[in-house]
Amino acid sequence: MVDVSGRLAEIEVKLGKVRDLLFSLELDLIFLNNLLSAEPNNKRAMELKEEIECLLRRR
């Protein structure tokens, strides 16, 4: 027999960890975006900045 309540508890714990990781990654992306803003003449920096902004909009 499957222990549904036990499995649900495991899933809740994992979801909490995923939420924490996503929040941390979002903060890192915002920080990187701000750093890249300081390089307006660097083509690659602006490309990365656009990619980051796209990811942040999708959340």
Q: Which residues contact 26 (CB under 8 A, 6 or more apart)?
A: 56, 59
pLDDT in tens, 10-50: 999 999 999 999 999 999 999 999 999 999 999 999 999 99
What is the predicted pLDDT for the residue at 34? Answer: 95
Confidence label for 2 from pLDDT (cuts 50, 70 and 90): confident
Domain boundaries, the chain: 22-59
What is the predicted pLDDT for the residue at 36? Answer: 94
pLDDT exceeds 80 at position 59 = no
What is the predicted pLDDT for the residue at 10? Answer: 96
pLDDT exceeds 80 at position 7 = yes
Q: SS3 of 41, please?
A: coil
